[in-house]
Amino acid sequence: MRRSARPFAALVAALTLTAGLFAAGAPAAARDSDASAAAQASDVSLAADTYDWKNVRIDGGGFVPGIVFNRTEKNLAYARTDIGGAYRWDQAGKQWKPLLDWVDWDHWGWTGVVSLASDSVDPDKVYAAVGTYTNDWDPTNGAVLRSSDRGATWKASTLPFKLGGNMPGRGMGERLAVDPNKNSVLYLGAPSGNGLWRSTDSGATWSEVTAFPNPGNYSQDPTDTSGYGNDNQGIVWVTFDERSGSAGSATQDIYVGVADKDNTVYRSTDGGTTWSRIAGQPTGYLAHKGVLDSDNGYLYLTLSDTGGPYDGGKGQIWRYTTATGEWKDVSPVAEADTFYGFSGLTVDRQHPGTVMATAYSSWWPDTQIFRSTDSGATWTQAWDYTSYPNRSNRFTQDVSSVPWLTWGANPTPPETTPKLGWMTEALEIDPFDSNRMMYGTGATIYGTENLTNWDSGSQFSITPMVKGLEETAVNDLASPPSGAPLLSALGDIGGFRHTDLDAVPDMMFTSPNLTSTTSLDFAESSPNTVVRVGSADAAPHIGFSTDNGSNWFQGSEPSGVTGGGTVAAAADASGFVWSPEGTGVYHTTGYGSSWSASTGIPQGATVESDRKNPKKFYGFKAGTFYVSTDGGATFTAKASSGLPTDGNVRFKAVPGTEGDIWLAGGATTGAYGLWHSTDSGATFTKLSGVGEADSVGFGKAAGGASYQTLFVSAKIGGVRGIFRSTDAGTSWTRVNDDAHQWGWTGAAITGDPRVFGRVYVSTNGRGIMYGDSSDSDGGGTDPGTDPGTDPGTDPGTDPGTDPGDAACSVTYKVTNQWSGGFQADVTLTNTGSTELDGWKLAWTFPDGQRVGQIWNATAGQDGAKVTATNVSWNGRVAPGASAGFGFTGTLTGGNTAPDAFSLGGEACATG
């Protein structure tokens, strides 16, 4: 995902960087000292609602380049993704827990994780090196995030350079490492020629290791001028030999991998003071991984002729004997027989001498996994040919929990479905369980719990171990009034018909299979008719369905189409308008059997349909709005004054009302915000209270309301978030919170026409989020100023209640707990008949718990007594509405929930 670069101050070169003056976390949000979360003055009414957020389940869907097990605590493991954040393994649920959902809009690049490190001395500590691109696609610098509670909360140290979680070479590593003897020492390998960096204070500050002699020189494509393919991949891994240190004393022997085919491995024998190239090392290759078997004193390297993760045509595996300096080629196959590079690499810590590796770039017919139980002297492989094209597998593979992993394919042998994998750069044997192995692919995490069957001659079982890890990039969303509640357009895996939001779909869209769906639409009054467009290696780039997306058929396309673009369906399914990449805008009155060029609208315009008049279509490009009243045959330019000419712009027409249009988008360098038209785009009015907006959608109207509920991803009142309005934009409710921000959410948003308050939010790497409101019907309008409120009424007191009882109820829920800490969510509901205008909730902890990080409120604590006070944007709570906040806390004994809460000194009901 590429966004317009924003100007920022030139970086000052310095050897030492101080920790950012902010705490970050999941759930508490990371913010620079100059990026205050406080709401600014606004001419719109702002309030807050408590939402329950979940992923629409897909399970996986993107590249997992790294899996890290802690070496001293059983079942403590982490996974990193290239654009979708980091996760911690939950053994009880056998699922992954997201750790970086707090990353905000301004730091969206921090959802790309280039490396992870788990502290073996103090397992509560975990570190993440974050940043998505090293070129100007990502406007912010990288950072090292540090957590002392396993990722529940974070602090960040911003670096004076960028990191590339989604850059070439991202499967190499790990670039970040904690000294296993002196855990206050960490090393980070940097890209772009920035060298090797070190922290001596547990990641709070970082300095360049100026004595390190080689910052790397390899780039994927030196001729690329974008800063992507031609970026120096730099320092790619750091490995400690724990035998050369003792508890509390820095490890002396450190190995570092460098993206330099002639000089790929360096070593220090004096704790990082001096460094030298190891003599006799293999050349002509890049060492993707360097893993040390300390019991036998062997350093293993997996090598490839390129940096990956997509490319790689030749490879080797080498072993270095640390005591003697001997190098030995221990490749499982001859170099001449490879058509792939090696990357994934792991050692069985329970059985020294057992090592495994992957042929990460063997796309066809399948990836390969190699295993040796004699330190690389001999190898076996996961599958072998019997008589070509027949093959014999040492494994069984069951993807019934994620059935779409078959891709709906029926390949010719020796290719199989599902595949063992591809882009298999992450491979780890559980250091406490020789039977458990996990490995990452371009779409999922696979694993086994009976790996040693490999050695006994029986088959081991491979299944997806990816539940909870959601990594799709979302391009478009649609929620029809009947049929499936949601249809999705996704990058890389096309998209799905979601009949159950909490279940993995059986299959992605097929016939045609589009690698990435860029746009989809349904006919408003005939929602069984659906159209989608997207990327493909060749035609077709368009598909149609007449049964609400259950089954599809291919359409023809105009000449010159190179990509999906945007598409719109007439309200009654009588025709379609398509604005593909590579050519102009076209329309059809059938299902794509023939197309005619539209006139009056420029190539590359975004197109949408009116949701009532089937002959009316709309378009937008570069500040001008276009209207067609003849089914898309001809368009006429309409409004242009004041509309954004730069940045991304998305617009939608309101269902059931002809000519009612909402337009969101723009750029900080020009017009940016939310506009409304009620005359089919002849004129637009900008909503003055919305500072920025990037996507807009509609959902079921609130009880008693005459207008559909609006949802926007926007900046309102100085606050970035997901907002809802039930009164056509007069007042707004923020429905997410600082714990749920998901980086960039600008591609698509839609409400559900059947469930009030439900909203579907696109992310760029965390999949589809959906939220349900604690407010069952919205009460007609969003919380705002109630003109009927008596100014003399004490906030929080319902005159109709008995003395001593406030008109409120409180729900307190512990949502997560770990050794010494916990996370809790609190919901305050106004059960009275007057609006709360500011609130302060009080309670007493029974077991002496302490509040730590808090969001959506400010806290004070005196002994066991706690008060939580509203922040500026959620102080007003209308009758029947709720305000929510959450916090992390510490505990030394039990964690009994408070049984009494008071508002303004008077008791609230609990439940």
Q: Is the per-residue pLDDT at 159 higher than 90?
A: yes
Quick one: pLDDT at residue 818?
A: 72
Quick one: pLDDT at residue 47?
A: 65
Contact call for residues 138 and 86 (beta carbons, < 8 A)? no
Return the H-helix or E-strand segment holding 453. helix 453-456
Quick one: pLDDT at residue 806?
A: 85
Quick one: pLDDT at residue 776?
A: 65
In sequence order, the 6+-apart residues with CB closer than 8 A to the CB of 442 are 62, 63, 309, 421, 422, 423, 492
Q: Is the per-residue pLDDT at 789 higher than 80?
A: no
Q: From residue 378, give the alpha-carbon distance in Å to each of 299, 348, 370.
A: 17, 16, 10
Secondary structure of residue 645 in the 3-state scheme: coil
Secondary structure of residue 335 in the 3-state scheme: helix
Quick one: pLDDT at residue 794?
A: 31
Please, what is the end-to-end C-alpha distance for the chain in angstroms? 43
- Indicate which residue of 122, 492, 572, 794 is catalytic: 492
Q: Is the per-residue pLDDT at 45 higher than 70?
A: no
In sequence order, the 6+-apart residues with CB closer than 8 A to the CB of 900 are 843, 844, 907, 910
Q: Is the per-residue pLDDT at 22 higher than 80?
A: no
- Note the pLDDT tens digit of each residue in 574-606: 999 999 999 999 999 989 889 999 999 999 999
Q: Residues 754, 757, 761, CA angle at the centre, nearest 5°?
A: 95
Q: Which pLDDT band holds residue 770 (cuts at 50, 70, 90)?
A: very high
Contact call for residues 768 and 488 (beta carbons, < 8 A)? yes
Contact call for residues 721 and 105 (beta carbons, < 8 A)? no
Q: Which stretches does DSSP call E strand in 441-505?
A: 445-448, 460-464, 474-478, 486-490, 497-498
Summarize the confidence of residues 556-573 as an average pLDDT: 97
In sequence order, the 6+-apart residues with CB closer than 8 A to the CB of 172 are 233, 236, 237, 257, 259, 286, 288, 289, 307, 308, 343, 425
Contact call for residues 71 and 429 (beta carbons, < 8 A)? no
CA distance linking residue 527 with residue 753, whole number of Å: 12
Q: Is the per-residue pLDDT at 406 higher than 60?
A: yes
- Note the pLDDT tens digit of each residue in 226-236: 999 999 999 99
- Note the pLDDT tens digit of each residue in 471-509: 999 999 999 999 999 999 999 999 999 999 999 999 999
Looking up tokens 């790397």, which residue turns up? 216
- Note the pLDDT tens digit of each residue in 517-558: 999 999 999 999 999 999 998 889 999 999 999 999 999 999
Q: Which pLDDT band holds residue 32 (cuts at 50, 70, 90)?
A: very low
Lowest mean pLDDT of 295-299, 383-387, 388-392, 778-782, name the range: 778-782
- Indicate which residue of 59, 82, 260, 752 is catalytic: 82
Q: Is the per-residue pLDDT at 162 higher than 90?
A: yes
Quick one: pLDDT at residue 351?
A: 97
In sequence order, the 6+-apart residues with CB closer than 8 A to the CB of 798 are 806, 807, 831, 832, 833, 834
Lowest mean pLDDT of 244-248, 663-667, 905-909, name the range: 905-909
R_g of the chain, CA atoms, integer Å: 28
CA distance linking residue 837 with residue 878, whole number of Å: 9
Q: Which pLDDT band holds residue 381 (cuts at 50, 70, 90)?
A: very high
Known active-site residue 49? no
Q: Residues 681, 682, 683, CA angle at the centre, nearest 5°?
A: 90
**Average pLDDT over the chain, rounded to an integer:** 91
Q: Which stretches does DSSP call E strand in 735-774?
A: 749-751, 759-762, 768-773
Q: Residue 811: how many CB atoms within 10 A of its CB?
A: 17
In sequence order, the 6+-apart residues with CB closer than 8 A to the CB of 34 are none
CA distance linking residue 164 with residue 142, whole number of Å: 8
CA distance linking residue 394 with residue 383, whole number of Å: 6
Quick one: pLDDT at residue 12?
A: 24
Tokens of 736: 């997410």
Q: Is the per-residue pLDDT at 788 higher than 50?
A: no
Largest CA distance in the chain: 89
- Note the pLDDT tens digit of each residue in 614-638: 999 999 999 999 999 999 999 999 9
Q: From residue 116, give the alpha-carbon distance in Å to each of 68, 70, 332, 761, 855.
A: 7, 11, 29, 27, 26
What DSSP designation does 708 have?
P
Q: Is the per-residue pLDDT at 43 higher than 80?
A: no
Return the H-helix or E-strand segment holding 455. helix 453-456
Q: Is the per-residue pLDDT at 26 higher than 80?
A: no
Q: Which stretches does DSSP call E strand in 33-102?
A: 45-48, 51-55, 66-69, 77-80, 86-90, 95-98
CA distance linking residue 192 with residue 201, whole number of Å: 25
- Note the pLDDT tens digit of each residue in 53-111: 999 999 999 999 999 999 999 999 999 999 999 999 999 999 999 999 999 999 999 99
Q: Which pLDDT band holds residue 778 (cuts at 50, 70, 90)?
A: low
Contact call for residues 276 and 267 (beta carbons, < 8 A)? yes
Quick one: pLDDT at residue 435?
A: 98
Q: Which pLDDT band holds residue 660 (cuts at 50, 70, 90)?
A: very high
Known active-site residue 492? yes
Quick one: pLDDT at residue 792?
A: 30
Q: Is the per-residue pLDDT at 29 higher than 50?
A: no
Adjacent-strand bridge partners of 87: 79, 98
Lowest mean pLDDT of 302-306, 452-456, 779-783, name the range: 779-783
Q: Residue 787: how many CB atoms within 10 A of its CB?
A: 6
Q: Which residue has the higher pLDDT, 774 or 367?
A: 367
Map 776-800 to HEC letters: CCHHHCCCCCCCCCCCCCCCCCCCC
Quick one: pLDDT at residue 46?
A: 59
Q: Which amino acid is it at 121?
A: V
Q: Is the per-residue pLDDT at 688 higher than 60?
A: yes
CA distance linking residue 532 with residue 521, whole number of Å: 7
Quick one: pLDDT at residue 762?
A: 98
In sequence order, the 6+-apart residues with CB closer than 8 A to the CB of 334 are none
CA distance linking residue 711 with residue 701, whole number of Å: 11
Lowest mean pLDDT of 439-443, 560-564, 738-742, 874-878, name the range: 874-878
Question: If we measure between CA atoms, which residue out of 158, 206, 188, 113 comes closest to residue 22?
Answer: 158
Adjacent-strand bridge partners of 876: 837
Contact call for residues 464 and 456 (beta carbons, < 8 A)? no
Q: From residue 40, give the alpha-carbon distance in Å to each of 37, 169, 882.
A: 9, 42, 22
Q: Residues 278, 175, 19, CA angle at the centre, nearest 5°?
A: 125
Q: Which pLDDT band holds residue 855 (cuts at 50, 70, 90)?
A: confident
Contact call for residues 595 and 577 (beta carbons, < 8 A)? no
